[in-house]
């Protein structure tokens, strides 16, 4: 009888620990490129529905569908750049050309009225009087110390044409940086194309690393990973659309300038949980302070206060009515957990960590549930063993 050539249990455990250490070291070495790897995977993930549509419905070859999808993405980026950038530049030019001395005078006059009103209505706690005018008087003194007639606001922002000429004139000194940027962009795009073209193969390859008895559970775990990402992106798009449209309607109703731009900013900032809405509020406050309302007869400062209240109302409406229905059903994660995750991951990974907090916590939740069931010697997915016929691997049409 032929003797089996299997490793002993201690040797297998040593090999497994060595493999885990090797993977951790490789991740540590590649930590500087994690953002680019994630961007490549994200682009491939976003374009995968378009690729599947072309393959399944239009019967295009996989490679041709991937090429068409990426060319469509490039055209879309060019169109958005050509349409949005001139709009933002025009708004910025109008902002810079404002009569700033008069704007400061109106703020100074408003502060004077508030100081006089506070002098009449003194705040007293017990027998102690509190003078609330001190910080306002100091703020007014600081404002009056500026001589805005000698300040050219437009000079604070560089002239783009002269900046481009300067870049061209010193291009010999920055050719290395430009080359690195080009290499980075090309590498990211090529990696994304490979992810989009061959990434589906991982779903079949990963379960084969495990024994046949464990493969159904691993395949179900991978399917749930994919479902977490699907639910996250679908929920995020719904939230972005809701916040963008609602902010546009509210800002238009308040008579704020740049209402459409403010809605777009609020929609995109919704990508960053909890922090994004706070960031999106600042442009609206700036618009209210500088331009006020086009039809509401309130001072600019009071319009800024009303704008803050409106943004808080929108955010509370989202948190109470929309988020529980969308993200709650999608990921089933408590907002406090997401907030703590943002604090931790953003300190380690920056903006990327803040963006990935919700889906990463969803993935960790699935892994933790799987491991706890295994520790308790329970089946993590008992339902998969009771179905009469379950196909654990994607069919050929799902693979392309």
The 3-class secondary structure across 6-33, one letter per residue, is CCCHHHHHHHHHHHHHHHHHHHHHHHHH
Q: Pick the closest to residue 323 from 356, 366, 277, 365 (CA basis).
A: 277
Q: Pick the closest to residue 290 from 89, 88, 96, 90 (CA basis).
A: 96
- What tens-digit pLDDT sequence spans the chain (400 residues)? 445 567 888 888 888 899 889 988 988 887 777 778 888 888 888 888 888 889 888 888 988 999 999 999 888 888 877 776 676 666 656 655 655 566 666 666 766 776 676 665 565 555 656 565 666 677 677 766 666 555 555 554 555 555 555 555 555 556 666 777 778 778 888 888 888 888 777 778 888 888 888 888 888 998 888 888 888 888 888 888 999 999 999 999 999 988 988 999 999 888 877 678 888 898 898 888 888 888 888 888 888 889 999 999 998 888 777 776 676 666 777 777 877 887 888 777 777 777 778 888 888 999 999 889 888 888 888 877 665 444 444 444 444 4
pTM equals 0.61
Strand partners, 129: 124
Q: Could you give the count of Cα atoms lying within 13 Å of 1 in the half-sphere of its Cβ?
A: 2
What secondary structure does DSSP assign to 255-321, as a single string? T-TTHHHHHHHHHHHTTSTTHHHHHHHHHHHHHHHHH--SSS---HHHHHHHHHHHHHHHHHHIIII
206-209-213-215 Cα dihedral, nearest 10 degrees: 0
* Angle formed by the axes of helices 259-269 and 275-291, nearest 10°: 160
């Amino acid at each position: 009888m032929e003797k089996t050539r299997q490793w002993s249990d201690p040797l297998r455990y040593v090999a497994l620990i060595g493999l885990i250490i090797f993977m951790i070291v490789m991740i540590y070495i590649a930590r500087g490129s994690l953002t680019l790897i994630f961007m490549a995977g994200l682009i491939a993930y976003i374009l995968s529905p378009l690729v599947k549509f072309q393959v399944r419905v239009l019967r295009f070859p996989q490679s041709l569908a991937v090429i068409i999808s990426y060319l469509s993405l490039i055209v879309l980026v060019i169109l958005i750049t050509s349409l949005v950038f001139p709009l933002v530049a025009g708004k910025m030019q109008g902002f810079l050309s404002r009569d700033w001395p008069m704007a400061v005078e109106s703020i100074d006059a408003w502060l004077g009225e508030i100081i006089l009103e506070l002098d009449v209505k003194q705040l007293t706690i017990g027998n102690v009087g509190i003078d609330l005018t001190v910080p306002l008087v100091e703020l007014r003194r600081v404002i009056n110390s500026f001589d805005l007639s000698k300040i050219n606001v437009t000079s604070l922002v560089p002239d783009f044409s002269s900046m481009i000429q300067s870049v061209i004139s010193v291009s010999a000194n920055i050719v290395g940086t430009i080359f690195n940027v080009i290499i980075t962009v090309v590498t990211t795009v090529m990696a994304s194309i490979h992810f989009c073209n061959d990434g589906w193969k991982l779903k079949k390859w990963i379960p084969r690393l495990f024994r046949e008895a464990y493969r159904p559970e691993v395949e179900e775990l991978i399917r749930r990973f994919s479902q977490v990402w699907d639910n996250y992106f679908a929920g995020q798009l719904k939230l972005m659309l809701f916040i963008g449209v609602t902010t546009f309607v509210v800002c238009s109703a308040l008579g704020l300038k740049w209402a459409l731009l403010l809605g777009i900013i609020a929609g995109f900032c919704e990508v960053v949980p909890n922090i994004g809405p706070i960031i999106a509020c600042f442009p609206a406050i700036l618009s209210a302070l500088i331009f006020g309302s086009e039809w509401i007869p309130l001072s600019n400062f009071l319009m800024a206060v009303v704008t803050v209240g409106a943004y808080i109302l929108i955010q509370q409406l989202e948190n109470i009515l929309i988020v529980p229905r969308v993200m709650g059903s999608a990921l089933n994660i408590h907002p406090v957990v997401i907030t703590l995750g943002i604090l931790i991951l953003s300190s380690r990974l920056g903006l990327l960590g803040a963006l990935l907090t919700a889906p990463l916590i969803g993935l960790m939740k699935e892994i933790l549930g799987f491991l706890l069931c295994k520790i308790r010697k329970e089946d993590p997915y008992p339902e998969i063993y009771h179905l009469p016929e379950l196909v654990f691997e994607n069919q050929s049409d799902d693979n392309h």
